[in-house]
């Protein structure tokens, strides 16, 4: 798999995809690529990542406080090579905007067959689990790029 621009997508772009954005950006520093994140919904557009995501990232030395939420748009299919979504609902919503087979092929669940579940309504433990799942998946992708 060749290296390419990566977009991380969840629903609100304040909990899961900002973590994925920060983690992937940190891990991919040897590659000359663009990393960003977006939400399928616009409820939080312009907002900072959830405080719990910020704290969880900072526990691992990653500062995501400068990120601002934005909504996924059809133009993202042109700007990114890989569009990783967190759950099947995100997958449905992003694929609904795909114009071509080429667009569709860029979209995949970050965990392959499993989902990164929404931690928004739960406690801090959910964010730790989300972090671990995302971090593992990002490392696997980077490993594939190196081969």
- 73-79 LR contacts (CB < 8 Å, sep 24+): 73/38, 73/97, 74/99, 76/7, 76/38, 77/102, 77/103, 77/106, 79/5, 79/7, 79/34, 79/36
Residue 118 beta carbon to ligand 4NP: minimum distance, rounded to whole angstroms = 5
Does residue 15 belong to the site contacting ligand 4NP (CB under 6 A)? yes
Closest approach of ligand 4NP to the CB of residue 15, in Å: 3
Q: How far is the CB of 114 from ligand 4NP (least distance, A)?
A: 15
By the 8 A CB rule, do 36 and 14 touch?
A: no
The catalytic residues are 10, 16, 118
- Contact with ligand 4NP (CB under 6 A): which of 12, 22, 23, 141? 12
C-alpha to C-alpha distance for 115 and 108, rounded to whole angstroms: 11
By the rule CB under 6 A, 22 interacts with ligand 4NP? no
CA distance 98 to 119: 27
Residues 101-130 that bind ligand 4NP (CB under 6 A): 118, 120
Q: Does 10 bind ligand 4NP (CB under 6 A)?
A: yes
3 or 117, CB closer to ligand 4NP?
117
């Amino acid at each position: 798999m060749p290296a390419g621009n990566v977009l991380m997508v969840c629903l609100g772009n304040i909990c899961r995809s900002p973590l994925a954005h920060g983690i992937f950006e940190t891990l991919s520093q040897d590659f000359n690529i663009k990393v960003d994140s977006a939400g399928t919904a616009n409820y939080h557009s312009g907002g900072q990542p959830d405080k719990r995501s910020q704290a969880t990232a900072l526990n691992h030395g990653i500062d995501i406080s400068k990120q601002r939420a934005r909504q996924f748009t059809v133009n993202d299919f042109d700007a990114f090579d890989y569009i990783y979504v967190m759950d099947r609902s995100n997958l449905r919503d992003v694929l609904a905007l795909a114009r071509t087979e080429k667009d569709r092929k860029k979209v995949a669940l970050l965990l392959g067959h499993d989902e990164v579940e929404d931690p928004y309504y739960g406690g801090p433990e959910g964010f730790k689990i989300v972090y671990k799942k995302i971090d593992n998946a990002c490392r696997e992708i980077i490993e594939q790029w190196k081969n």
